[in-house]
Amino acid sequence: MPEATFLDANELILNMGPQHPSTHGVLRVILKLDGEKILGTECVIGYLHRGVEKIGENRTYAMFAPYVDRMDYVAAVSNGLGYCLAVEKLLNVEAPPRAQAVRVILTELNRIASHLLWLGTHALDIGAITPLFYVMREREEILNIFEAYCGARLTTHAFRIGGLQYEVYEGMEKQVKAFCKMFLPRVDEYEELLTENRIWKDRLVGVGVLTAEQCKQYGVTGPMLRAAGVKWDIRKAQPYSGYEKYDFEIPTRTNGDTYDRYIVRIQEMRQSVRMIEQAVDDIPEGPIMAKVGKVIKPPVGEAYVSIEAPKGELGYFIVSDGSTQPYRVRVRPPSFVNLQALDTMARGGLVADIVAIIGTIDIVLGEIDR
Amino acid sequence: MRKLLRTIFLVDLIQGLWVTFRNQHPKNIYTEQYPAQRPRIAERFRGAPRLNINPETGETLCIACDLCALACPENLIVVSSERNKQTRRKELTTFTYDTSRCMFCGLCEDACPVDALELTQDFELASYTREGAIWDRQMLEEGPKPTWYRY
């Protein structure tokens, strides 16, 4: 916390948020400024705290599944996957191959949706309004697929513990393939708008640099880590849900600035399309639900499962005391950990850069405050 | 040299503007004119709850087993039943569903063994009062009656 009482004559405390369009929710940042220069920042979080972890202790395993969608509501499917995998690890069951393939398709679609929303809002913060409209147009297609598959667009509750509740709807493969075909040229279109744009480059190149060493110190994961040059992706390092079957690359960059993180996310969208195309081409036949009892009652024990969510490593740690309700649910949210690096990235920069830096972390406050 | 010329002639900006220009065509309109134009709702959409009745006899399909109330994470379903003296079967008396607390997760319809409770494609659930969001059995069987707009 910058000490308000010991300011120099030219120093200024500026309060940004919690009601600010560029903080992507209810994040409050206290800035200590010297003119235009940022001397320090302090994040105040907790405005969206709902006690999700505590709710988990009062619900049965199946009942808690819809709540995890409400943490990172931009990537609800990834949250559901992480939770289901953690409970499945506790139960020592594995989803059948057909369920795994459908899970991969939906989570990768959700990764694209999350990155699209990030791209639109990030560009909007910087001042480029146009990409937001195009991005929403493509995101709509993904949400239509979600709606047709599981009946909800945002808080999907798509997966159940042990597999899937819903069978693939008629024409899903066709719709997903059509989306993939339509989407790749659209990514080129976003790149045409932004990548070489001089205003975009001036605002992003060299802003908010986070080296690989600093990333590791803070525990920063996801595209931010990869933009700093570390080739770390949980889908490759510890494959889950059949990710080892698909052929994809981990896009990395070396500078670790805001521009590199933009490039990494754009590349990731292309890689996701590649994965979806492979997965949709052969969805294995078979059951969609593993043998899980009607009442889910895992043995005494604990399980930690981490997955590569769009924003970074998303971990679920569940302790079971042998009853139908979890004894403790702990979530390792990627946005919360990544937000720690805000001060390091912003310090010494200009006050206009703070908006770009908050945007580049890709935070969702529902996940930070839980 | 090439870079300088590109800078002078604003090639990067014109490239972006050309993308914007390409999307000017009227066939690229994606806005829906709701409520004049009704949105297309997916078949599996989880919206307003409905308690299905047998269309021929008008009797409810619900067997008052209380499984939906047990499955609900928010405990918003209240089922009460009465034992019929003659047939020895449980008969549904009242059924309340608090849509103001519902998050439309679909666990209740998954739990229903006779497909009596169903989440439908209706999505216009607004009400002037808080009590209006608590649906009783009659409302659940008939479905919501949204206001018709004249324009």
Q: Residues A121, A173: one domain?
A: yes
Residue B7 at interface with chain A, using a CB cutoff of 8 Å: yes
- DSSP 8-state assignment for residue B83: E
* Number of Cβ atoms within 10 Å of the Cβ of A170: 10
Q: Which residues neighbour B28 within 8 Å (Cβ) at sequence distance 6 or greater?
A: none
- CA atoms of A344 and A348, how far apart (whole Å): 9
A151 and B44 within 8 Å at the Cβ level: the answer is: yes
For residue B147, the model assigns a pLDDT of 64
A370 lies in a domain? no
Within chain A, strands assigned E span: 11-16, 28-34, 37-44, 159-160, 163-164, 301-309, 312-320, 326-332
Six-digit token string for A118: 């990030």
Tens digit of each residue's pLDDT (9 = 90 or more) over A61-82: 888 989 998 888 888 999 999 9
Contacts of B7 in chain A (CB under 8 A): 198
Q: Residues A30, A171: one domain?
A: no
Tell me the domain boundaries of chain B: 49-142
Name the nearest CA neighbour of A312 among A188, A245, A241, A218.
A218
Name the nearest CA neighbour of A167 among A105, A106, A102.
A102
Nearest to A189 among B19, B107, B119 (CB): B19
A256: left (phi over 0), alpha (psi -120 to 50) or beta: left
The yes or no reply on domain B49-142 and CATH 3.40.50.300 is no
A257 lies in a domain? yes
A65 lies in a domain? yes
Q: Residues A277, A349: one domain?
A: yes
- Given a cut of 70, the residues of chain B with pLDDT beneath it are 146-151
A193 and B42 within 8 Å at the Cβ level: the answer is: no
- CA atoms of B34 and B31, how far apart (whole Å): 9
Contact indicator for A110, A310 with CB cutoff of 8 Å: yes
Within B99-148, strands assigned E span: 117-119, 134-135
- CA atoms of A76 and A111, how far apart (whole Å): 10
B15 and A148 within 8 Å at the Cβ level: the answer is: no
Range of the domain at A25: 4-44
ipTM score over 0.85, yes or no: no
Q: What Cα–Cα distance (Å) separates residue A155 from each residue in A27, A48, A133, B46, B104?
A: 22, 17, 22, 11, 9
- Given a cut of 70, the residues of chain A with pLDDT beneath it are 1-7
Contact indicator for A125, A357 with CB cutoff of 8 Å: no
Q: Residues A140, A205: one domain?
A: yes
A194 and B106 within 8 Å at the Cβ level: the answer is: no
Nearest to A193 among B16, B42, B72 (CB): B16
Q: Residues A26, A169: one domain?
A: no
Contacts of B15 in chain A (CB under 8 A): 192, 196
How far is the alpha carbon of A240 from chain B, nearest alpha carbon, in Å? 25
Q: Residues A143, A195: one domain?
A: yes
Q: What Cα–Cα distance (Å) separates residue A222 from each residue in A292, A336, A340?
A: 32, 12, 14
Q: Residues A36, A119: one domain?
A: no
For residue A117, the model assigns a pLDDT of 92
Strands A301-309 and A163-164: unpaired
Q: What is the total count of domains within chain A? A: 2
For residue B62, the model assigns a pLDDT of 84
Can you give the CATH number for the domain in which A243 is found? 1.10.645.10
Six-digit token string for A101: 């393939």
Tens digit of each residue's pLDDT (9 = 90 or more) over B75-97: 888 888 888 888 878 888 888 88
How far is the alpha carbon of B57 from chain A, nearest alpha carbon, in Å? 30
A24: left (phi over 0), alpha (psi -120 to 50) or beta: left
For residue A31, list its beta bridge partners. Answer: A14, A41
Q: What Cα–Cα distance (Å) separates residue A362 from each residue in A116, A128, A173, A356?
A: 11, 17, 30, 10
State how far Cα A98 lies from the chain centre: 24
- CA atoms of A205 and B3, how far apart (whole Å): 18
What dihedral angle (degrees, nearest 10) is formed by the CA atoms of A208, A213, A217, A221? 70
